[in-house]
């Protein structure tokens, strides 16, 4: 029958770049039914070394000593006090293997024996941004998604970039930072587009992700934003030549009667050129010719969206019979 009796322990507090030592001594009593024998004291010791940087931040601890059966523990920390490395070496008892090492930052550990696994930290998440689309005048809403299950907060930056769509004339530039707490799975970025009156083909711009924090990564760094035009393509009108017969230098002609527009837009006369000495005026498509003589003039036809075409009016002047109106 064996009994162990604690005799005592001594310790020293830790300071910067100092070590703490703890010693434990014990006496082993071996007894039979009638006699007890006192064995020699057995001493065990442990040394803990704390290492600080120049700003007084703890960056490393090391534990060694026979009290741990020869096992040495080495732990590293970053500037914020987060554990970044955990290494155990030595023997934990007869027949055991060579210990284990682990890294906290990446959340993975490698086992080289029976001592343990990993650093106990979480695996940082990944970020991805979606594609999106809208009609001009609407908002492009990009969704940024965080993958993985974490409890810490992580951030990622974003900024718009031109494609065939250009900042200012097609969309409003935007940039910033998204912060995800442990429970946040996704956040959105809304980009306003410009509603103009110009017929355009479908255009695109982009939202780019950058600067993930805390060891997180970006799995899809670019989202495409497609902008569809809401303006109808305008086809120009067709102006056809006319003949104006003037009576003794006076004549009127409605030149719009034989002109057409494929879109059904309203038509008007935008301008009149030529005609020599003829005095020409226009009123709702009626061209009035005074002092008309045999010759010609040109007019410009315009639709409601500003598209144009031109045609020629040939003038014949006569003072015989009839009147100035056709």
Q: Which residues pair with 224 in a beta bridge?
A: 206
CA 294 to chain CA centroid, Å, is 70
Higher pLDDT among residues 68 and 132, named by residue: 132
Per the domain annotation, does 144 fall within a domain? yes
Give the model confidence (pLDDT) of 81-108 as tens digits: 676 666 666 654 444 344 444 444 434 3
Q: Please name the residue that has the structure tokens 């060891």.
A: 215
Predicted confidence (pLDDT) at residue 23 exceeds the cutoff of 50? no
Q: How many domains does the chain have?
A: 3
Q: End of a domain among 38, 62, 88?
A: 88
Based on the fold, state whether residues 223 and 276 are members of the same structural domain. Answer: no
Provide the pLDDT for residue 320. Answer: 56
CA 14 to chain CA centroid, Å, is 48
* Residue 257, token pair as written in the block: 């009667």
- Cα–Cα–Cα angle for 112, 114, 115, rounded to 5 degrees: 90
Query: Which of 58-67, 108-117, 187-196 comes out lowest in average pLDDT?
Result: 108-117
Classify strands 222-228 and 132-135 as parallel, antiparallel or unpaired.
parallel
Based on the fold, state whether residues 145 and 54 are members of the same structural domain. Answer: no
Binned at pLDDT 50, 70 and 90, residue 236 comes out as very high
Based on the fold, state whether residues 152 and 206 are members of the same structural domain. Answer: yes
DSSP 8-state code for residue 236: P
Per the domain annotation, does 219 fall within a domain? yes
- Closest residue by Cα to residue 227 from 181, 196, 259, 271: 196
* Residue 238, token pair as written in the block: 């067709």
Predicted confidence (pLDDT) at residue 204 exceeds the cutoff of 80? yes
* Residue 218, token pair as written in the block: 């970006």
Per the domain annotation, does 262 fall within a domain? yes
Q: Please name the residue that has the structure tokens 């009626």.
A: 286
CATH of the domain at 276: 2.60.40.10
Based on the fold, state whether residues 135 and 65 are members of the same structural domain. Answer: no
Q: Rounded distance, CA 259 to CA 236, Å?
A: 11
Q: End of a domain among 163, 198, 228?
A: 228
- Closest residue by Cα to residue 313 from 263, 260, 271: 271
Q: Rounded distance, CA 9 to CA 30, Å?
A: 22
Provide the pLDDT for residue 258. Answer: 96
Q: End of a domain among 88, 116, 147?
A: 88
Per the domain annotation, does 36 fall within a domain? no
Residue 309 sits in which domain range? 242-318
Based on the fold, state whether residues 152 and 218 are members of the same structural domain. Answer: yes
Give the model confidence (pLDDT) of 32-88 as tens digits: 444 444 445 556 677 777 777 777 777 777 777 766 666 777 777 676 667 666 666
Q: Rounded distance, CA 87 to CA 70, Å?
A: 14
Residue 286 · residue 268 · CB < 8 Å? no
Provide the pLDDT for residue 307. Answer: 92
Higher pLDDT among residues 269 and 29, named by residue: 269
Q: Which residues contact 135 (CB under 8 A, 6 or more apart)?
A: 227, 228, 229, 230
Q: Rounded distance, CA 59 to CA 61, Å?
A: 7
Per the domain annotation, does 32 fall within a domain? no
Based on the fold, state whether residues 259 and 223 are members of the same structural domain. Answer: no
CATH of the domain at 179: 2.60.40.2030
Q: What average pLDDT score do residues 263-272 get?
A: 93
Based on the fold, state whether residues 217 and 180 are members of the same structural domain. Answer: yes
Top mean pLDDT of 11-15, 96-100, 233-237 is at 233-237
Per the domain annotation, does 203 fall within a domain? yes
Provide the pLDDT for residue 121. Answer: 79
Based on the fold, state whether residues 292 and 257 are members of the same structural domain. Answer: yes
Based on the fold, state whether residues 296 and 212 are members of the same structural domain. Answer: no
- Closest residue by Cα to residue 41 from 7, 2, 3, 1: 7
Q: Rounded distance, CA 77 to CA 10, Å?
A: 28
Based on the fold, state whether residues 205 and 250 are members of the same structural domain. Answer: no
Q: Which residues contact 198 (CB under 8 A, 6 or more apart)?
A: 231
Based on the fold, state whether residues 136 and 217 are members of the same structural domain. Answer: yes
- Closest residue by Cα to residue 206 from 227, 179, 185, 187: 227
Per the domain annotation, does 313 fall within a domain? yes
Higher pLDDT among residues 213 and 293, named by residue: 213
DSSP 8-state code for residue 181: -
Per the domain annotation, does 55 fall within a domain? yes
Q: What pTM, to 2 d.p., does this model score?
A: 0.46
Higher pLDDT among residues 106 and 151, named by residue: 151
Q: Which residues pair with 286 in a beta bridge?
A: 254, 283
Based on the fold, state whether residues 208 and 145 are members of the same structural domain. Answer: yes
């Amino acid at each position: 029958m064996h009994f162990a009796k604690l005799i005592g322990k001594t310790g020293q507090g830790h300071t910067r770049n100092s070590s703490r030592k703890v010693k434990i001594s014990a006496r082993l009593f071996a007894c039979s039914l009638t006699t007890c024998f006192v064995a020699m004291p057995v001493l065990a010791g442990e040394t803990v070394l704390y290492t600080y940087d120049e700003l007084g931040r703890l960056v490393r601890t090391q534990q060694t000593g026979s009290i741990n059966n020869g096992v040495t523990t080495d732990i590293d920390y970053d500037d914020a006090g987060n554990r970044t490395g955990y290494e155990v070496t030595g023997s934990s008892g007869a027949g055991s293997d060579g210990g284990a090492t682990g890294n906290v930052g990446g959340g993975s550990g490698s086992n080289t024996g029976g001592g343990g696994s990993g650093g106990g930290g979480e695996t940082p998440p990944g970020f991805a941004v979606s594609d999106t689309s809208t009609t001009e005048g609407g908002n492009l809403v990009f969704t940024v998604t965080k993958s993985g299950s974490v409890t810490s907060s992580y951030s990622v930056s974003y900024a718009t970039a031109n494609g065939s769509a250009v900042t200012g004339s097609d969309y409003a530039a935007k940039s910033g930072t998204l912060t995800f707490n442990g429970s946040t799975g996704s956040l959105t970025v809304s980009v306003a587009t410009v509603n103009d009156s110009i017929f355009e083909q479908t255009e695109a711009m982009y939202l780019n992700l950058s600067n993930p924090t805390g060891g997180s990564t970006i799995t899809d760094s670019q989202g495409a934003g497609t902008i569809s035009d809401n303006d109808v393509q305008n086809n120009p009108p067709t102006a056809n030549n006319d003949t104006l017969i003037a009576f003794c230098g006076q004549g009127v002609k409605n030149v719009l009667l034989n002109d057409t527009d494929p879109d059904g837009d309203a038509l008007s006369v935008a301008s009149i050129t030529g005609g020599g000495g003829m005095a020409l005026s226009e009123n709702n498509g009626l061209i009035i010719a005074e002092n008309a003589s045999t010759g010609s003039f040109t007019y410009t036809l315009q639709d409601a969206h500003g598209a144009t075409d031109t045609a020629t009016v040939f003038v014949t002047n006569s003072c015989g019979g009839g009147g100035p109106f056709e």
